Structure 1
């Protein structure tokens, strides 16, 4: 009977990736105060892209037997931005606590150091100029305008 029950739970040998990954990462993130690691993943959405570029949450430390009034330790790329973050602390705390849904974090603690390399965004695809626009240039009577439009089309298409 237990084999039959296992098959039903596993959907004939297949398991959603999120289930085992969550059970693997929860102990690791839990040691640092991040319940499931969602705060790390959602960090740019929580604090904004500008702040997330120069920061990374490291851990949340709560008072003993409490889940409120914690201290969030943040790694900051440089001292100049750490000074800026001190001025933004009330706003950042408001956004973090809004994310949690309660007053989870009461203060921020900054640690200076290099951030791990993040994967670069892929370059935007080059615009393709279709051949259907070439006959339209034949209708342009002004030679200077036609030459300018051809150059524009080559530039947009990535052709020299």
Structure 2
């Protein structure tokens, strides 16, 4: 056997496909840690850390680490700066200690000792789940009018006409996109 070293001591390269999140975090983590003092993992885990009551109105901004004077200095925990909308500030203040406990649980050691709240708008980009619709033609309108013509209540007839227009418009948009 050649003296090329034991397989267990050589670093192994991952084989096969890797999740895109792993590749992106390898690229983004150095930038985020340099600018904000934290990892992309904290940002992506924030909804679980903050919980349902806080995730909508606040987000972590940065970690402020105190300067180390020398290598002999003991470790000093950081301050977590959290951007928070006005309606959530009081709730965040009341739950600050629990939040710090969950953040430290995420890191696995007491990395954060203080919380600084910065009141400002928190923009959460929500994915639109609205199904696209397409305008319907005069033939479809005529068919809907005939189907609802015997309904005596004008409010019910109007509501059913709007419902029919929506259904036919969504079906037409789905057909155009190559769906069913």
TM-score range normalised by the length of the shorter chain: 0.5 to 0.7
Aligned residues: 118
**Rg (Cα) greater in structure:** 2
Q: Which runs of 5+ in 1 are unaligned?
A: 1-7, 124-157
**2:46 is equivalent to residue 38 of structure 1:** no
Q: Which runs of 4+ in 1 moved over 4 A?
A: 8-12
Q: Deviations over 1:35-66 (max 9, x none)?
A: 3x111101010120220110010101112247
Give the alignment partner of residue 62 of structure 2, picking from 56, 59, 68.
59
Residue matched to 2:107: 100
**Distance in 2 between the 1:103 and 1:89 partners?**
15
Instruction: Indicate if the aligned counterparts of 2:56 and 2:124 stay in contact, CA closer than 8 A.
Output: no
SS in 2 for 1:58: strand
**Distance in 1 between the 2:66 and 2:56 partners?**
29
Higher helix proportion: 1
SS in 2 for 1:50: coil
CA change 1:100–1:68 in 2 (3 A) is: farther
| RMSD, matched Cα | 3.1
What's the CA shift for 1:107?
0.8
Residue matched to 2:80: 72
**Distance in 2 between the 1:49 and 1:91 partners?**
13
**Distance in 1 between the 2:103 and 2:19 partners?**
29
**Distance in 2 between the 1:49 and 1:84 partners?**
12
